[in-house]
Amino acid sequence: MTLTKKELSSILKKELKLSFDISDSLVDEFFQSIKTTLRSKKNIKLSGFGSFETFRTKERMGRNPKSMENFNIPSHNKVRFSPTSKAKYFLN
């Protein structure tokens, strides 16, 4: 099952008895702060859930399987998620 931002907003609305506008803006602001933090190359640690860390991939050579032609794949930024032991426990 996939949980969308809209469904997350409705859960907050129901559990915290908020209006939909306020719960929607809370979810949007939460994700916006995560994006801003990751863009500034800082790690995020959510206690009891996990951490997001940014890293840079190395430049490497790739190959087109159809033409067998080699090409350069430039390095770029990625995000890695590592769950805490508590998160691993409630997942299993």
Tens digits of pLDDT across the chain (92 residues): 789 999 999 999 999 999 989 999 999 999 999 999 999 989 999 998 999 999 999 999 999 999 999 999 999 999 999 999 988 898 88
- Domain range enclosing 35: 1-40
Question: In the structure encoding, which two tokens stand for residue 36, read together?
Answer: 């801003």
pLDDT given at position 92: 81
How many structural domains compose the chain?
Answer: 2
* C-alpha to C-alpha distances, 18 to 9, 15, 24, 75, nearest whole angstrom: 10, 8, 10, 44
Do 58 and 27 share a structural domain? no
Q: Of 27, 36, 43, give the one whose Cα is nearest residue 79.
A: 43
Question: In the structure encoding, which two tokens stand for residue 53, read together?
Answer: 């860390």
pLDDT given at position 44: 94
Do 28 and 71 share a structural domain? no
